[in-house]
Structure 1
Amino acid sequence: MYIKRERYLSKIRPFYDVDLIKVLTGVRRCGKSILLEQIKEEFIENGFDRAHIITINFEDLQFEKIRTAEKLNSYVNEQIKDHDKYLIFLDEIQHVRSFEKVLASFRATLNCSIFITGSNSKLLSGKMATLLVGRCVEFRIMPFSFAESYEYATAIGRNISPDEFMIDYINWGGFPLRFSFTKESDIKRYLEQTYEGILDKDIITDRSKVNRQNFERVATYIMANAGKEFSSKNIENYFIHQNADTLDKKTIYRYLDKMEKACLIDRVKRFNIVGKQAMSYIEKQYAVDTGFRMINTNLVNFEDTFFLENIIYNELKARDYEVFTGKTYKGEIDFVAINGRKKCFIQVAYYLAGKETIEREFGAFKPISDASPKYVFSLDRFDYSRDGIAHINIVDFLLGKKDINLS
């Protein structure tokens, strides 16, 4: 059972027959392999010859021995029987050493369209970027959005309203296979094993020289505090409180980089609203999925907004906005969403429970003279819009019933 991931297919479709390597990146188990299958099915439905489709999943034991560019080149060329066009699907390409060389060769010598996936956000950096500059197009794949999760949950027979399902999504996120389980203990176990698998395969390998205990402590802290203002000093204090060895700032940032490369987190920069410019300073980290945040905290505190902020951040990124945290001379705006030269400002709250909360959330925009649209998001069904600031129900936004405007 799976749903059609139209959000991503609609982005990739215009490149099906373009002479660029289509690169799908994203955290493990987010659904990249299924998306490749859906792309393949669309070609077949449009009459493409199955015999001209070459598929390799490098995590399949059948292909375990293909670990070098030379062996991959030999295998693919053995499958080529004529001069007609071929489709080449390579799943989890990072397992092949010097894969960028063979991709460049395929593109230069074969009549083909190439689709690859990888569980590394920096797949298009370094040598690959040098060899394939201008020859790739990248698509970042995320776990199920709220809308996809609700569609899937409904398809498998869960009779639940969107508002009720929101609590489930806040807690356990959108990793597709987690919907195979109904008991919270089973969901938690699955997410923990998935998380540990990412650490083992993508971060704490034999060649990585990473102290597992120290890394797991840092990762737990980052996940548990996703959405909060980042400070390496706070992590140092956390280690002291845990009676653990202290870590220097360089090591902490190296661990953060590894988490980002494994697509576990996004690192969010600051936008100076007064100066109207993006800053290089990294302000916050957000988890790729709230399920991973949950297993590192074991409790959703409905008095704070960080789980909801995380969901809104991921949704904005999936909709192809540039997202920053905003700074005014008096405080913080949760998000500045930018598309080209247009932008809007967003505050996020669970519920606007009481006059004080309403004043705080709407009042955050007072220092901003910029005329760009301003929004307060919350789970309230009552419309609290006021003073030119729009209030949007979060569930309606996530389902596409309400949207933001930029100017």
Structure 2
Amino acid sequence: MIDRPAYMQQIRPFMGKNVIKVLVGARRSGKSTLLELIRQRLISEGVAEQSMLHINFESSEYAGIANADDLTQYVAKHMTGTQGIIRLFFDEIQEVDHWEKAVRSFIVDYDADIYLTGSNARMLSSDLATYITGRYVTIDVYPFSFAEFLDAFRQAAGPVDERSAFRRYVAQGGFPFQTDLAFDETASLHYLEDLFSTILFKDVIRHAGIRDADSLERVIRYVISEEGHLVTAANIASYMKSEQRKVSAETIANYLNAASKAFLIYRVPREDTIAKRTLKINEKYYVVDQGLRHAIGLNNANAIDQVLEGIVYMELRRRGYAVRVGKIADKEIDFIARRGDELSYYQVSYLLGSQQTADREFGAFDGIRDNWPKYVLSMDEFPQTRDGIQGMNIIDWLLSNNR
């Protein structure tokens, strides 16, 4: 089991407190492992195992817990008579109908330290907000960052060069189960192909009540293939029409929203950088992990600029930034990242092999007059810096401690 200290650091201040800890993210991104790490941490600090109840609602062992009443009765049966704080760990809680009612009762009826995981953002619906307003904190969980992947890969394969490991990361991504496969590339990509289908059917189609599974999958595959490019529901509808599939722009928008709720793709709006306003047309989408992209037949090496952009986007999210695409007149900035009062700008390119490419990437920042950091990230071994804009090697940036 790979330790994930960055997440434990986020969770630690809330452990033992009467506030619900909600871990959300794509299926198999490591949420269950985090629950076990939390449990082990509590035990190491002297908490009795008898005060803990851990339920994975995807296990057939708990198939009889179908709704809030079932869950309430189960907890009462197993925790009645426990002295002091009880610790409740509920994995994939969205499988229980009206679970939020049961969780609210636990807050009221017990001195409870509660941890939940879920693979669909619908669990953070208005129902949850209504029942436990102000009583929960959300922690977003993602597949391995490159730094985490590198540590895990070295544990499996021994000393390995960072550049070699990054080539594997580009192809296989960072879903943690690869550690169980010793990072075998063929086995990992087979696993990821199946995982893509599981996310589609369990976390998108079922939760959103989508009937036309084939059209949904075609739309999602298209959006992933266009990762990092500006898209609209209308131009996706045109693509579907060319595939002899008539799907309305409204339906496509619903598909994209459902896939976003399942943390399969992430929507990134555009912003007029000078006017500081959100633009309502053309957005970008990024897949949660580049290994999924490669596993469904989109060769990552053939779209390396898109893939690197996606890796940088997800890393910014891991570091706690809210991210948008910037627009200044006819120029585009790949990412504007905000975290609290901090602001930074990023351009991502595979290589700045020509003066024209370098001028384009550095020139994207023309017109921005503030003094916030600006970066051009590339795979160049000796990146250039120009006019206060810092060039960085992408691998070095991913491994940097500038958190």
Counterpart CA distance in 2 for 1:22 and 1:200 is: 26
Deviation at 1:302, TM superposition (A): 4.9
Name the counterpart of 1:231: 232
Counterpart CA distance in 1 for 2:366 and 2:339 is: 23
Deviation at 1:399, TM superposition (A): 1.1
8 Å contact from structure 2 (residues 233, 250) kept in 1: no
CA distances 1:200-226 after superposition (whole Å, capped 9, x unpaired): 212223981420111111011011112
Question: Where is the helix percentage greater, Structure 1 or Structure 2?
Answer: 2
1:204-219 equivalences under 5 Å are 204-205=205-206, 208-219=209-220
Counterpart CA distance in 1 for 2:159 and 2:197 is: 32
Deviation at 1:304, TM superposition (A): 5.0
Counterpart CA distance in 2 for 1:287 and 1:303 is: 14
> Which residue type is aligned with residue 208 of structure 1?
G
Name the counterpart of 1:166: 166
Quickly say closer, same or farther: Cα 1:83–1:279, change in 2 above 3 A. farther
Name the counterpart of 1:67: 66
> Which residue type is aligned with residue 258 of structure 2?
K
Runs of 4+ in 1 over 4 A off after TM superposition: 278-282, 301-304
Name the counterpart of 1:79: 78
Counterpart CA distance in 1 for 2:25 and 2:282 is: 21
Name the counterpart of 2:113: 113
8 Å contact from structure 2 (residues 67, 97) kept in 1: yes
8 Å contact from structure 1 (residues 224, 297) kept in 2: no
Deviation at 1:178, TM superposition (A): 2.6
Deviation at 1:352, TM superposition (A): 1.3
Counterpart CA distance in 2 for 1:40 and 1:28 is: 20
Counterpart CA distance in 1 for 2:371 and 2:197 is: 46
8 Å contact from structure 1 (residues 23, 138) kept in 2: yes
1:295-314 equivalences under 5 Å are 295-302=295-302, 305-314=305-314
Number of corresponding residues: 401
**1:185 correspondence with 2:186:** yes
8 Å contact from structure 1 (residues 191, 292) kept in 2: yes
Counterpart CA distance in 2 for 1:206 and 1:116 is: 18
Deviation at 1:108, TM superposition (A): 0.8
> Which residue type is aligned with residue 347 of structure 2?
Q
Counterpart CA distance in 2 for 1:198 and 1:182 is: 21
Counterpart CA distance in 1 for 2:3 and 2:185 is: 26
**1:14 correspondence with 2:38:** no
**1:149 correspondence with 2:142:** no
Counterpart CA distance in 2 for 1:312 and 1:366 is: 22
8 Å contact from structure 1 (residues 330, 367) kept in 2: no
CA distances 1:142-173 after superposition (whole Å, capped 9, x unpaired): 01111111100001124421111111111111
1:7-406 equivalences under 5 Å are 7-80=6-79, 81-179=81-179, 180=181, 182-205=183-206, 208-242=209-243, 244-279=244-279, 283-302=283-302, 305-401=305-401, 403=402
Q: Secondary structure at the match of 1:326?
A: strand
Residue range with higher mean Cα deviation, 363-372 or 169-178: 363-372
Quickly say closer, same or farther: Cα 1:206–1:273, change in 2 above 3 A. closer
8 Å contact from structure 1 (residues 223, 296) kept in 2: no
CA distances 1:213-262 after superposition (whole Å, capped 9, x unpaired): 111110110111121111223212222222x2211111000100110111
8 Å contact from structure 1 (residues 268, 282) kept in 2: no
Counterpart CA distance in 2 for 1:57 and 1:339 is: 34
Counterpart CA distance in 1 for 2:329 and 2:116 is: 45
Q: Which runs of 5+ in 2 are unaligned?
A: none
Deviation at 1:197, TM superposition (A): 1.1
8 Å contact from structure 1 (residues 224, 296) kept in 2: no
Give RMSD over aligned pairs: 1.7
Q: Which runs of 5+ in 1 are unaligned?
A: none
Counterpart CA distance in 1 for 2:322 and 2:207 is: 35
TM-score (norm 2): 0.95
Residue range with higher mean Cα deviation, 364-373 or 211-220: 364-373
